Amino acid sequence: MKKENEGLIEQFTKVQEELLPQVTLENNFHKEEISLVAGVDLAYWENDTKHYGTCCIVVVDYHTMKVVEKVHSYGEITVPYIPGFLAFRELPLIIEAAKKLKTAPTLYMFDGNGYLHYRHMGIATHASFFLKKPTIGVAKSYLKIKEQDFAMPKQEAGAFTDIVIDEDVYGRALRTTKGVKPIFISCGNEIDLATSTEVVMNFIHKESRLPIPVRLADLETHKVRKELKDNL
């Protein structure tokens, strides 16, 4: 199994390195055009010796905060979990779920990292090449890279500190609500960090430190996973 993973790591690293030059941390849209934002999350479970996963996408209106569409996919997971290469495990289900959408999101927001990644190729960044839309990474916990810690933001809503490693801004520690832990946001692709922050803060509600699309996608994965586990 170890040798098999070594081969996969070599293969996956090559793919990430080939995609990286195509990543742009600039907006390819006007902020006034933002209409629908899709939250994406996945959940897993085991049945006997097999591993399964479900991807849920929840599309939310940027202005009214109302849910306009929910879709999901599920299936057996055949790619092993290897830190730094989560996209290869999750992409098939993400692509399958996105194909079911009847609406056209302006951008996608992932429960996970984007540019804040060992090779700048977290799930939010990698998925953008298949979704053909701008993407944002929103992580609940900090991915430490090169032993670099982050500076804690001030205790006020909207306060942030940038995560800079080797003079490169990987992402941002953002305190969305006073008195709660920060979240960690990063550009996925075709969007800048300031706009990513603005979009995330637009969706912050007192119920959670997470932006609404990601929080709802997370809740949906738990619901769908339970239904699938009970019926498969």
Each residue's pLDDT tens digit, 17-61: 999 999 999 999 999 999 999 999 999 999 888 999 999 999 999
Contact 107, 134 (CB under 8 A): yes
Compare 140 and 6 and report the one with higher pLDDT: 140
Which range has the worst mean pLDDT, 3-17, 95-109, 114-128? 3-17
pLDDT at 6: 87
Check pLDDT > 60 for residue 1.
no
Check pLDDT > 50 for residue 62.
yes
Contact 107, 199 (CB under 8 A): yes
Going by C-alpha positions, the residue among 213, 54, 205, 73 that lies closest to residue 136 is 213
Residue 213 banded pLDDT, cuts 50, 70, 90: very high
d(CA 71, CA 38): 10
Which two structure tokens, joined as six digits, stand for 119? 């090779």
Q: What is the mean pLDDT of residues 158-170?
A: 97
DSSP string covering the chain: -HHHHHHHHHHHHHHHHHHGGG---S-SS-GGG--EEEEEEEEEEEETTEEEEEEEEEEEETTT--EEEEEEEEEE--SPP-TT-HHHHHHHHHHHHHHT-SS--SEEEEEB-SSSSTTS--HHHHHHHHHTS-EEEEESS---BTTB--PPPPSSTTEEEEEEETTEEEEEEEE-STTS--EEEEEEESS-HHHHHHHHHHT--TT-SS-HHHHHHHHHHHHHHHHHHHH-
Q: What is the mean pLDDT of residues 149-168?
A: 97
The burial of 69, by beta-carbon neighbours within 10 Å (0-12 exposed, 13-18 middle, 19 or more buried), is given as middle
pLDDT at 232: 66
131 alpha-carbon distance from chain centroid: 13
pLDDT at 2: 62
